[in-house]
Structure 1
């Protein structure tokens, strides 16, 4: 479900885009506990960014009781640092903003997403894992 849109002025080299996608996926999975296979990273170029910005990332993630403002802040900071390292740019030139949406607004593999941290989430993870096999 999480969708991260990575906007740049010009296209990233394929190897750089791969490293950035890996950094986003790892950070999201490690901090939220969400399945890596469901992290989506979309690359867009041709954007006019503010002066001093090289990469602008807008992410949409599930909200809920376990997705506190503190977790969101930590995820934004981790993404900023990891994307900068993966892209070889200064951390100050990477902007990350995250929006939390209700889980029920999203469907993955034909299944409505449960709220994070609920017993239903574990059942949902098992169902998604079974579909991936």
Structure 2
């Protein structure tokens, strides 16, 4: 279920960097939360430079918003944000001063994937077993 949306201006991140960043975000999310990598979705949105501002001026930030299932410890969410920020800087060569990572929560019961309500954190194995038996 986690959906990570990476937003920046056009031509800031190459296709190769996008692919590498998607792999890094997926690995980090799974390592920190224990959730299967198959749960992790990463999307990229590129906007015209005239549509992105910081401090009231046109800018070229890297904005990463992670929507995750609620119920995780604050320490996990902090680690997710920090580790993703570090990885994003390393993969894209964008200074961390231009990177913003936010982790937002939604209750699992408000998300449906594959036609099924998502499990609470920690109950993924049972959910996957039920899915595989369908």
Tell me the TM-score range normalised by the shorter chain: 0.7 to 0.9
Structure showing greater radius of gyration is: 2
Runs of 4+ aligned structure 1 residues displaced above 4 Å come to: none
RMSD between aligned residues: 1.8
Q: Unmatched 5+ residue regions in structure 2?
A: none
**Aligned equivalent of 2:117:** 112
Which aligned pairs between 1:81-120 and structure 2 lie closer than 5 A?
A: 81-117=86-122, 120=123
Q: How far, CA to CA, are the matches of 2:36 and 2:124 in structure 1?
A: 11
2:38 is the counterpart of 1:34: no
2:62 paired residue among 50, 55, 66: 55
How much has 1:124 moved relative to structure 2? 0.5
Please list every run of 5 or more consecutive structure 1 residues that lacks an aligned counterpart in the other structure. Answer: none
* Structure 1 position 5 matched with structure 2 position 5: yes
The number of residue pairs the alignment matches comes to 126
Q: TM-score scaled by structure 1?
A: 0.85
